[in-house]
Amino acid sequence: MKNIAILYICTGSYVKLWQDFYVSFEKNFLESCNKEYFVFTDAAELYGERNNKRIHRIYQENLGWPGNTLFRFRIFDSVRDRLQSFDFVFFMNADIVCNEAVSEEMFLPSEGELLVVQHPGYFQKKPYEYAYDRNRKSSAYMSYLEGKVYVCGGVNGGSTSVFLHMVSVLKKRIDEDYSKGMIAKWHDESHINRYIWENSNYRILSPAFCYPEGWDLPFDPILIVRNKSRIIELDPDKVRRQIRKVHIWESAWKRLKNIWWKMVYCCLGR
């Protein structure tokens, strides 16, 4: 039987998402494996922990936005020694539920591989349209001639040694960037996309494994990303910043740049 560690962060009001996540994963996710949950939270108690010794509650200060997502590799690195005995380690966003049975064959990568999921918002787009970090000062920087796929930050993992190596590399990159006043465009997601461009040892799954609730995609939803605004109160400052980023992306100069790179890609036959 394979041993699986699941990493989960739920500080502040996000703890409200834990029960549905846990119940759905106990019922549907890798039933043939031994699963243990490493839950980083500031909550005094978690649903199920009194009756399940496989739930490990680890105190984590609420770092706010974007700290809780930006510094998640630092958080994971804090339990590195406790993860070494597992065959695979996976991170799951707090707002995910497992909608149907997931077998080993459906999900697990090969030994020595990472596991990533194609982003549901970009699976039909060209690389020049991907939301890579285009800032040359960022260690997550991707040029318009780089990249083959854009993956989401909400579901990833892999063989333990390979995943922990990625954790070490990205923790260092993010810390170094932050010391210089630099934050990647989409935080951990930007860094993961840079990392898999540099390292091809990964299994990639379809957006069925990160399917936003309410979307209409040509996939049967397996891991659903819930609309968390129905359950918890979102940080209004975070929402405003996200909207501002979307507006920046959709600005006229960005659209012109995409047209230019589309022409370049056509000439290159990509």
- Shared-domain flag, residues 220 and 244: no
pLDDT for position 232: 78
- Count the alpha carbons within 13 Å of 180 in the hemisphere toward its beta carbon: 11
**Is 189 a catalytic site residue?**
yes
pLDDT for 250: 45
The answer to whether 107 and 30 are in contact (CB under 8 A) is: yes
Tokens of 167: 């954790």
Residues, the chain: 270
Using CA atoms, how far apart are residues 5 and 172, in angstroms rounded to an integer?
Answer: 23
Q: How far apart are the first and last CA of the chain?
A: 43
Whether 144 and 259 map to the same domain: the answer is no
CATH, residue 120: 3.90.550.10
**C-alpha–C-alpha distance, residues 91 and 75, integer Å:** 11
Same domain, 73 and 181: yes
For residues 72 and 188, the answer to whether their CB atoms sit within 8 Å is yes
35 shares its domain with 68: yes
Do 166 and 128 belong to one domain? Answer: yes
193 and 110 housed in the same domain: yes
Catalytic residue among 26, 49, 104, 189: 189
Between CA 234 and CA 183 the distance in angstroms is 21
pLDDT, residue 252, reads 47
Q: Are residues 29 and 156 in the same domain?
A: yes
Instruction: Report pLDDT for 145.
Output: 92
Helical spans, DSSP H, in the chain? 18-28, 64-70, 72-77, 80-83, 104-107, 160-179, 188-198, 236-249, 252-268
Compute how many other C-beta atoms are within 10 angstroms of the C-beta atom of residue 110.
11
What is the per-residue pLDDT across 175-196, written as a single tens digit (0 to 9) for each?
Answer: 999 999 999 999 999 999 999 9
pLDDT tens string, the chain, 270 residues long: the values are: 999 999 999 999 999 999 999 999 999 999 999 999 999 999 999 999 999 999 999 999 999 999 999 999 999 999 999 999 999 999 999 999 999 999 999 999 999 999 999 999 999 999 999 999 999 999 999 999 999 999 999 999 999 999 999 999 999 999 999 999 999 999 999 999 999 999 999 999 999 999 999 999 999 999 999 998 878 765 545 544 544 444 444 454 455 555 545 555 555 556
Q: Do 81 and 123 belong to one domain?
A: yes
Euclidean distance between CA atoms 25 and 207, whole angstroms: 18
What does DSSP assign to residue 13? G
Domain span at 79: 3-234
Q: What is the pLDDT of residue 265?
A: 52
Find out whether 163 and 89 touch, Cβ atoms under 8 Å. yes
What the block records as the tokens of 69 is: 């997502």
Asked if residue 267 and residue 220 are part of one domain, the reply reads no
Residues 36 and 116 in one domain: yes
Residue type, 78: S
Q: Which helix (H) or strand (E) holds 205?
A: strand 202-205
Per the structure, the count of domains in the chain is 2
pLDDT at 230: 79
Domain co-membership, 241 together with 115:
no
- Residue 266: per-residue pLDDT: 55
Spatial separation of the C-alpha atoms in residues 202 and 36, rounded to whole Å: 23
DSSP 109: P
Which amino acid, one-letter code, is at 175?
D
Whether 200 and 256 share a structural domain: no
